Structure 1
Amino acid sequence: MDKLLYIFLTCCSIGINATTLYSELLSDYDTLMEFYNSGNNSRKDFIPKANVSVAMDVSVSVDLLALNDFNEVSGSIDLMIGLNLSWTDEIVQCNGYDVATAFNATAIGTPDALKSLLVPYGKIWSPNMVLLNAMDSATTIGGSIYKLRFDLTEALVTWNPKVHVYSSCTPDVTYYPFDRQTCSFTFLSWGNTASELLFKTDRSTLNLDSYSENGEWKVSNNAISVPTVNSQSQIEISITIDRRPLYFAFNIITPIMVLVILNGMVFWLPVESGERIGFSVTCFLSFVVLLNMIMDMMPKSSSPIAYICFYTVCMMVFSGLNTALVILQMRMFHKPETDEVPKCILSYIRFMKCQTCKRDRNKDKINLIKVEPSDVLERPQNRKKDVKIDESNVKKEEITITWQDAADELDKILFFTFLIGQMTFTILFLVPLFSI
């Protein structure tokens, strides 16, 4: 019976204490609201500072939560951040009271849970935070879901709103798809000058502890500063992101490189096949399609233009020139044999053939000279003389050059010319990309 009585009294004591604590919490909240609505006039729009000649110091830190997207075409960045703001609210002193005696939570033995209040947004003063360079319009920070915590013992207010930043950002696609983008955006307390409100921070970078990685971009650098511009204290955030290029390298650069190789191979295609013009035109149209795909991913501005666009245009010009030369070469190949080949072309082809083919052919003919057994017994000077005569007879043979021979030689020249030219442009394109 005694045990039951003890349990009953204990429960009643706990219930009384809980009710008392809850009543004290409501009383502190009502007291705070009375300070802000003294004389039926709301003071939530005025900075709660007892000495108005000194600016309100607002401590700030920023958490980077997620990078949703960077759109280089529209020049915008989409990310989520968390603003951590804190300041000392002197509304109690403004009403002539002391924090140490104004609230019940300052009493000795008060639980920690009752030493602070969650105050709905808009009930007490908070900075009117605005994202200055928003993409569509100036974005106001805050809302009913982001409550303010008021410390009843120190009058310290902390506010941690989450912000969806959709801000403008000028893209630099010079080294696309190995590009690096730096975006900056500015927050300020709208309507307050630096003599009224001053942001301060003890950090130089963003907090990335809660950051969720992005599949296309990685954060390489970030910074935060609190300058004073045009008599207003601002929060400036800078973030540098690097593109992950593997996807774009496989889907854009690799097809271009394959087309570059195929583009010059048209000169190895036999003229008799009748597929040369069709092959070269197909390569040219493929470059046009790839260029359109790349331009759709680029901003509609002429400064700067991506190196990959310059490279694709150069390769497209090579392909167009390739097609024109194929047409001229086929016209040359099908000329009648009765048409005379120009002397300059004859000289070049004879020079090339003399250096390569004729020497081997003459050597074979000299080896075929029949030597009788009786010639072995003759004097050496006579045999040498006979051999010299035979060689001179062979050298007198004329090499017949046709338009088909000229077309074959032109194929070799054009192949190596296009090969060297395309390799040069490719190296000039790749070196800047891998040097960043």
Structure 2
Amino acid sequence: NTLHISHIHLVLVSAVVCFSYLFDTSVLAEVPEKAFRPVINYSIPTHVNISFTLSAILEVDVRLQLLTSFLWINLMWDNPFISWNPEECVEVNKLTVSAENLWLPDIFIVESNSMDVDRAPTGLSAYVSSDGRIKYDRPVRVTSICNLDIFYFPFDQQNCTFTFTSFLYTVDSMLLGMDKEVWEITATSHDIIQTQGEWELLGINKATLKMLVGSNVYDQITFYVAIRRRPFLYVINLLVPSGFLIAIDAFSFFLPAESESRAPFKITLLLGYNVFLLLMNELLPASGTPLISVYFALCLSLMVLSLLETIFITYLLHLATTQPPPMPRWLHSLLL
């Protein structure tokens, strides 16, 4: 037991000495300030691998053309000034280091109206491997511009973009890549996404482009995120009641033309349909003209024409009873 305790004590002392030497003397003495890009030769660009996980689709604002989502952004790059031999450090291959003590790539989303990094938990850490590879994950609430087409509402699909690029470094200093395939990002997002609201994720694609700003060229990666609206709520609250009212109006033609309740019945249906449209107006998009609005306008027009036809027939019956004119049999059969 004494030998076993002595062995454990020796291992712990060795580890403390190893990492004290690593981070207090050799490495930190050679690591540049975190404001500078960590490279030995400044002519060599830093390769930053980017991926993300879509955790939630929080809001889609049709009027302002904005998509609000919650992302986990994953960044990975190499720091040649941080490395150690795991055999000399009790086989430790990875450590967590406070992100405040490291140089971080200035990656941002071009379409973002706001990236609420300040709402992220403080004191985030990064994983540092023995070969100098750093992996840094951060949660971000992103409100991004998205070109929304609501013509096929509520059966619409939208394609929004997330373009990741550097704010400061051109292609001479920073190159962007991916350590995951697009299908992996899509599968992980499908598994992790937590909202079961109005929108669902269909898929994610990507394209690698260059952005020219003046004489400077920036590397960028564009992700195309396809989302689809869940139409069940709108089918139950909009299409089904409207279809019932139109069907009842059509069946009202089976009422006898001589009946005095036919016209009041159609007027009641028309008023009820207008009240229905006023109540359901909040469910319709605030901007644009979706196809469903054309459908409602057409249904309303048909109900008005149906009422006018009933009024016209009632007028002819009134004439027939007060001043019976000679009427052809075919016209009598057609109208009555």
Letter in 2 for 1:224: K
**Equivalent of residue 244 in structure 1, options 221, 230, 240:** 230
For 2:10 and 2:293, the matched residues in 1 are separated by 77
How far, CA to CA, are the matches of 1:112 and 1:180 in structure 2? 51
- After superposition, what is the alpha-carbon deviation per residue over 1:308-347, rounded to whole angstroms, capped at 9, x for unaligned? 1111101101112222332333233233634243x6xx12
Q: Is the alpha carbon distance of 1:89 and 1:162 closer, same or farther for their aligned partners in structure 2, counting shifts above 3 Å?
A: same
* 1:185-200 superposed matches below 5 A: 185-200=162-177
The count of residues paired between Structure 1 and Structure 2 equals 325
Q: Secondary structure at the match of 1:274?
A: coil
Q: 1:222 aligns with which of 190, 204, 220?
A: 204
TM-score by length of 1: 0.66
1:175 aligned to 2:161? no
Q: Which amino acid aligns with 2:203?
A: N
Give per-residue Cα distances to partners, 1:94-135, cap 9 Å, x unaligned. xxxxx5xxxxx416353333x333221221111122232224
Instruction: Name the counterpart of 2:4.
Output: 10
Counterpart Cα distance in 2 of 1:61 and 1:87: 12
Contact in 2 for aligned 1:132/1:139 (Cα 8 Å): no
Report the AA paired with residue 162 of structure 1: P
Q: Is the counterpart of residue 301 in structure 1 residue 291 in structure 2?
A: no
Judge which range, 28-37 or 218-227, deviates more: 28-37
Q: 2:141 aligns with which of 158, 164, 174?
A: 164
Higher Cα radius of gyration? 1
Give the AA of the match of 2:90: P
**Residue number in structure 2 paired with 1:184:** 161
Write the mapping of 1:309-320 to structure 2, written as runs, cut at 5 A: 309-320=293-304
Corresponding residue for residue 333 of structure 1? 317
Matched-pair contact (CA < 8 Å) for 2:257–2:313: no
RMSD: 2.9
Q: Structure 1 residue 208: deviation in Å?
A: 1.9
- The equivalent of 2:106 in structure 1 is 128
Matches within 5 A, 1:26-425: 26-31=20-25, 32-36=27-31, 43-91=33-81, 99=83, 105-106=84-85, 108-113=87-92, 115-135=93-113, 137-140=114-117, 144-152=122-130, 154-201=131-178, 203-205=181-183, 206-209=185-188, 210-212=191-193, 214-215=195-196, 216-230=198-212, 231-270=217-256, 273-292=259-278, 295-302=281-288, 305-335=289-319, 337-341=321-325, 346-347=327-328, 350-351=329-330, 406=332, 409-411=334-336
In structure 1, distance between residues paired with 2:243 and 2:86:
77
Unaligned runs of at least 5 residues, structure 1: 1-6, 38-42, 93-98, 100-104, 353-405, 412-436
The more displaced of 63-72 and 227-236 is 63-72
Higher helix share: 1
Task: Give 1 or 2: higher strand fraction.
Answer: 2
Question: 2:230 and 2:108 mapped to 1: Cα distance?
Answer: 32
* Equivalent position amino acid for 1:301 in 2: S
Relative contact order, higher structure (CA 8 A, sep 6+): 2
Identity of aligned residues (%): 22
State whether residues 173 and 298 of structure 1, in contact with CA within 8 Å, keep that contact through their aligned partners in structure 2. Answer: no
The SS at the match of 2:308 is helix
Question: TM-score, normalization: structure 2?
Answer: 0.83
Q: Distance in 1 between matches of 2:160 and 2:65?
A: 10
